[in-house]
């Protein structure tokens, strides 16, 4: 029996009580719902509970609109409407979420084509890799209602459904992403020099007109379009097939023809914009994938990036000079080295060449990549930037400051003191860091079992591959006894006998499990801030790892690290080498929580000291981290990276192999310098961390 208005009112009031008031009541909702079938009512109430569990306000909006929704859509579609709104709430917050609930018409319009519509969410990873492959900077993909770029990220709409089939919609999304990439790549924001006026300023100097931005944008879009067509003919062909070649009136066509020349730059676009504004030429049609630019945001981002790049460039060049000095490949002892970069020409076929004192030198890949990135922002690198090291005074840089903090209250945790490397002084600061070995309060004991259940297919796969690794049957030759005859040994023994020498009795083959003699220590970053969910993934990764390591039989230890300032560095023992993987270890893993900061150097030194007491043929130190070294008192940037690097060198000198697994997408910017070009792995999605950690370990110790 369907519920009456009164019954509904009572029910709804109970559920929605927190968000109701004298003006906001459930009477209307109850009335409208009372006219629905019992099935619909139950559907609505069930979903109300679910939505309220996320957000009560959202729940209120839901119940106010659900009757209308149900009258216009079947229940399956209504469910999609709710789920869609919840997704939007998750991503963008309460107001967009409630808007999605209110705008039923919009949803219906989109839903009619929901099968054909392409969602950014599903394509994001693919697009991210695609953009990375296209080269240039690593760009983030974010969503926005209108496609645009600010040079650090590419903003794309959440849903594309211009066309009635999926394939075409995916093509549009790809074209949008490519176009926005193209703006960065082909110099929409490029300035002649760092001090030259930026795009915002140059546009403000043009005559004012309501259409100014649209005209500029349309002209620039055509220029970028031509660049992309030259660079990616396959894409151009597909887009022409999709939407045909556009027709423009004569004036626009002339402008487009000029801007489509390979030699055209942003300067030409601005020239034509000025012309069009003076002559008041009206707008023409444009393609859906011609994105837009948030010029202000772009210039901010660009400026920040250039400042950072400038310092890093100086550092990379200094490293190159030092390297060449060490190899004695530089001419004599010139103290004043002139550096010239000559760009052969603007096209992509020619590569940049770096010369010192007129002699060409080979550029390390990091330096080349940095220069290529900078040349997207600037037409030319200023000479002073290249020669920054010639008149360098010691710039203060990031030093580990000595904050006047109270010393730790005495307690029973063991305390250790470690030096820290100051890269500018090129000296250790003695006993600079105080490290405490702490215990972890045990967490919920069910956590480990839940994780294994959650990942049970992955656990199964991992166990299998680790079993193969462990049982990799190695045939030991020339054994005194075994399963089969070693013919090589027999032949040799025979020849020995005939020559009158002693005949060995080691004539057999034995198939045996390989003897692994590996000890591995895992160093888990427990830093806090807003990335608590990363620590969750780290926890899950550890659970899976332990399961796999138990199969393998390698000796392992797990430590978490955190801390704040040099006076309180913390190391949390999760599992020591000597401990067996039992209930209390599982509880410690469950008890891992995000904490403070990431001071890596001292942790590496401490763990290296611990590793030295372990006797194994191979000793590994694997770091799980979400980013760069970073501590409250200035331990970050170059200072942090250099100290960490120094600590890793110390570890390597003691025969320990360091390796880093990170989810920081920018990892490839600094990890090669710290860990070495092949001793790190970037996991691009934190949800893959649990599986990836084990796979990396598998490969490392094959």
Partner 1 sequence: MSISAKKDDSLFESEPYYEAQGDEITLFEAAYKNHIPILLKGPTGCGKTRFMEHMAWRLKRPLVTVSCHDDLTASDLVGRYLIVGGETQWIDGPLARAVRQGAICYLDEIVEARKDTTVVIHPLADDRRVLPIEKTGELLKADEHFCLAISYNPGYQSVLKDLKQSTRQRFIAIEFNYPTTNLETQIVVQETGLDRDTASMLVKYAVMTRNLKGNGLDEGASTRLLVHTGKLIMSGIDTRVACRTAIADALTDEPDLLAAINELGTALF
Which residue number, 605 or 691, has a Cβ lying nearer to partner 1? 691
Longest alpha-carbon distance in the chain: 111
Min. distance of Cβ 699 from partner 1 in angstroms? 7
**Cα 291 to Cα 157: distance, rounded to the nearest angstrom:** 10
The secondary structure of 23-52 as a DSSP string is: SS-SHHHHHHHHTS-HHHHHHHHHHHHHHH
Which residue number, 311 or 701, has a Cβ lying nearer to partner 1? 701
Min. distance of Cβ 49 from partner 1 in angstroms? 36
Residue 73 near residue 108, CB atoms below 8 Å? yes
Q: Tokens 């331990």, residue?
A: 635
Min. distance of Cβ 362 from partner 1 in angstroms? 7
Residues in the chain: 702
Min. distance of Cβ 633 from partner 1 in angstroms? 31
* Burial class of residue 201 in the structure, from the number of CB atoms within 10 Å of its CB (0-12 exposed, 13-18 middle, 19+ buried): exposed
Min. distance of Cβ 240 from partner 1 in angstroms? 14
Strands 518-525 and 508-513: unpaired
**Cα 526 to Cα 529: distance, rounded to the nearest angstrom:** 10
Min. distance of Cβ 627 from partner 1 in angstroms? 16
**Cα 435 to Cα 568: distance, rounded to the nearest angstrom:** 6
Which residue number, 80 or 504, has a Cβ lying nearer to partner 1? 504
CA distances from 673 to 315, 638, 684 (A): 12, 11, 20
Q: What is the contact surface with partner 1 in residues (CB under 8 A)?
A: 125-126, 129-130, 132-135, 174, 178, 232-235, 238, 348-351, 362, 477, 487-488, 491-492, 494-496, 498-499, 618, 620, 657, 659, 665, 668, 678, 680-682, 684, 699-702
Strand, coil or helix: 209: coil
Which residue number, 147 or 667, has a Cβ lying nearer to partner 1? 667
Min. distance of Cβ 236 from partner 1 in angstroms? 9
Which residue number, 108 or 352, has a Cβ lying nearer to partner 1? 352
CA distances from 221 to 288, 472, 649 (A): 11, 58, 50
Which residue number, 135 or 390, has a Cβ lying nearer to partner 1? 135
**Cα 456 to Cα 462: distance, rounded to the nearest angstrom:** 10
* Burial class of residue 75 in the structure, from the number of CB atoms within 10 Å of its CB (0-12 exposed, 13-18 middle, 19+ buried): middle
Which residue number, 235 or 609, has a Cβ lying nearer to partner 1? 235
Min. distance of Cβ 667 from partner 1 in angstroms? 8
Name the helix (H) or strand (E) containing 438: strand 427-439
Going by the DSSP 8-state scheme, the letter that residue 484 receives in this structure is E
CA distances from 163 to 122, 179, 243, 404, 610 (A): 18, 19, 10, 63, 62
**Cα 161 to Cα 215: distance, rounded to the nearest angstrom:** 26
Which residue number, 430 or 702, has a Cβ lying nearer to partner 1? 702
Of the candidates 601, 608, 607, 679, which has an alpha carbon nearest to the alpha carbon of residue 644?
Answer: 601
Name the helix (H) or strand (E) containing 538: helix 532-552
**Residue 513 CA, distance from chain mean position:** 39
| CA gyration radius, the chain | 32
Min. distance of Cβ 279 from partner 1 in angstroms? 36
Which residue number, 232 or 275, has a Cβ lying nearer to partner 1? 232
Min. distance of Cβ 678 from partner 1 in angstroms? 5
Min. distance of Cβ 350 from partner 1 in angstroms? 8
Q: Tokens 């990892």, residue?
A: 667
Residue 174 near residue 128, CB atoms below 8 Å? no
Of the candidates 319, 297, 305, which has an alpha carbon nearest to the alpha carbon of residue 373?
Answer: 305
Degrees to nearest 5, angle at CA 84 with 83 and 90: 90
Which residue number, 385 or 697, has a Cβ lying nearer to partner 1? 697
Which residue number, 300 or 701, has a Cβ lying nearer to partner 1? 701
**Cα 35 to Cα 32: distance, rounded to the nearest angstrom:** 6
**Cα 32 to Cα 66: distance, rounded to the nearest angstrom:** 9
Min. distance of Cβ 135 from partner 1 in angstroms? 5
Min. distance of Cβ 696 from partner 1 in angstroms? 10
**Residue 407 CA, distance from chain mean position:** 37
The secondary structure of 622-667 as a DSSP string is: EEEESSS-B-TTS--HHHHHHHHHHHHHHHHHTTEEEEEEE--TTH
Which residue number, 174 or 217, has a Cβ lying nearer to partner 1? 174
CA distances from 331 to 327, 356, 362, 462 (A): 11, 9, 15, 55
Min. distance of Cβ 228 from partner 1 in angstroms? 9
Which residue number, 229 or 300, has a Cβ lying nearer to partner 1? 229
Which residue number, 133 or 396, has a Cβ lying nearer to partner 1? 133
**Cα 121 to Cα 110: distance, rounded to the nearest angstrom:** 16
Which residue number, 173 or 215, has a Cβ lying nearer to partner 1? 173
Min. distance of Cβ 336 from partner 1 in angstroms? 27
Min. distance of Cβ 136 from partner 1 in angstroms? 9
Which residue number, 229 or 380, has a Cβ lying nearer to partner 1? 229
Kindly state the tokens that stand for 111.
Answer: 């839903």
Min. distance of Cβ 216 from partner 1 in angstroms? 27
Kindly state the tokens that stand for 490.
Answer: 């027999």
Going by the DSSP 8-state scheme, the letter that residue 104 receives in this structure is H
Strands 569-575 and 618-625: unpaired
Which residue number, 235 or 314, has a Cβ lying nearer to partner 1? 235
């Amino acid at each position: 029996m369907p519920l009456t208005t009164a019954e509904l009112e009572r029910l709804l009031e109970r559920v929605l009580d927190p968000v109701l008031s004298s003006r906001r009541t459930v009477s209307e909702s109850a009335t409208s719902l009372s006219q629905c079938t019992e099935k619909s009512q139950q559907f609505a109430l069930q979903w109300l509970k679910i939505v309220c569990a996320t957000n009560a306000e959202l729940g209120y909006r839901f119940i106010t609109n659900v009757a209308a929704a149900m009258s216009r859509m079947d229940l399956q579609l209504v469910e999609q409407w709710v789920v869609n709104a919840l997704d939007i709430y998750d991503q963008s917050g309460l107001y967009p979420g409630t808007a999605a609930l209110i705008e039923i018409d919009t949803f219906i319009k989109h839903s009619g084509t929901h099968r054909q519509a392409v969602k950014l969410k599903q394509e994001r990873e693919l697009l991210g890799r695609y953009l990375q492959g296209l080269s240039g900077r690593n760009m983030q993909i974010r969503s926005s209602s209108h496609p645009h770029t600010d040079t650090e990220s590419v903003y794309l709409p959440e849903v594309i459904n211009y066309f009635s089939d999926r394939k075409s919609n995916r093509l549009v999304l790809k074209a949008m992403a490519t176009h926005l990439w193209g703006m960065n790549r082909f110099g929409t924001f490029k300035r002649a020099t760092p001090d030259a006026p930026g795009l915002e300023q140059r546009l403000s100097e043009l005559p004012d007109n309501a259409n100014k931005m649209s005209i500029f944008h349309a002209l620039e879009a055509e220029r970028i379009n031509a660049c992309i067509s030259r660079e990616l003919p396959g894409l151009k062909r597909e887009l022409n097939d999709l939407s045909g070649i556009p027709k423009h009136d004569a004036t626009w066509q002339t402008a487009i023809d000029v801007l489509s020349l390979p030699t055209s730059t942003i300067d030409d676009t601005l020239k034509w914009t000025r012309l069009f504004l003076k002559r008041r030429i009206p707008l023409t049609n444009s393609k859906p994938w011609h994105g837009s630019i948030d010029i202000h945001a772009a210039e901010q981002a660009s400026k920040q990036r250039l400042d950072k790049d400038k310092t890093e460039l100086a550092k990379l060049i200094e490293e190159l000079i030092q390297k060449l000095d060490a190899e004695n490949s530089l001419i004599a002892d010139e103290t004043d080295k002139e550096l010239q970069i000559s760009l052969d020409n603007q096209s992509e076929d020619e590569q940049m060449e770096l010369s010192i004192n007129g002699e060409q030198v080979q550029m390390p890949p990091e330096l080349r990549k940095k220069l290529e990135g900078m040349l997207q922002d600037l037409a030319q690198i200023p000479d002073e930037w290249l020669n920054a090291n010639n008149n360098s005074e010691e710039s203060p840089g990031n030093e580990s400051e000595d904050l006047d903090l109270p010393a730790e209250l005495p307690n029973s945790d063991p305390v250790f003191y470690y030096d820290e490397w100051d890269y500018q002084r090129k000296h250790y600061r003695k006993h600079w860091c105080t490290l405490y070995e702490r215990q972890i309060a045990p967490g919920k004991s069910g956590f480990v079992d839940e994780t294994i259940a959650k990942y049970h297919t992955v656990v199964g796969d991992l166990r299998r591959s680790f079993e193969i690794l462990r049982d990799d049957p190695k045939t030991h030759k020339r054994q005194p006894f075994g399963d089969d005859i070693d013919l090589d040994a027999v032949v040799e023994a025979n020849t020995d006998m005939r020559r009158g020498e002693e005949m060995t009795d080691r004539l057999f083959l034995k198939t045996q499990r390989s003897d692994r003699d590996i000890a591995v220590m895992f160093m888990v970053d427990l830093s806090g801030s807003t990335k608590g969910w990363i620590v969750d993934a780290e926890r899950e990764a550890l659970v899976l790892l332990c399961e796999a390591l138990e199969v393998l039989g390698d000796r392992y230890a797990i430590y978490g690290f955190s801390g704040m300032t040099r006076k309180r560095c913390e190391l949390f023992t999760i599992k020591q080498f000597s401990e067996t993987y039992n209930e209390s270890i599982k509880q410690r893993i469950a008890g891992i929580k995000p904490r403070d900061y990431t001071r890596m150097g001292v942790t590496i030194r401490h763990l290296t000291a611990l590793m030295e007491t372990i006797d194994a043929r191979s000793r590994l130190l694997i770091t799980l981290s979400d980013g760069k070294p970073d501590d409250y008192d200035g331990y970050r940037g170059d200072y942090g990276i250099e100290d960490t690097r120094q600590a890793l060198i110390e570890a390597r000198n003691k025969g320990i192999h360091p390796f880093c697994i990170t989810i920081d997408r920018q990892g490839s910017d600094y990890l090669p310098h710290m860990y070495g070009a092949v001793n790190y792995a970037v996991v691009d999605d934190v949800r893959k961390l649990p599986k990836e950690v084990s796979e990396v370990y598998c490969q490392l110790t094959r």
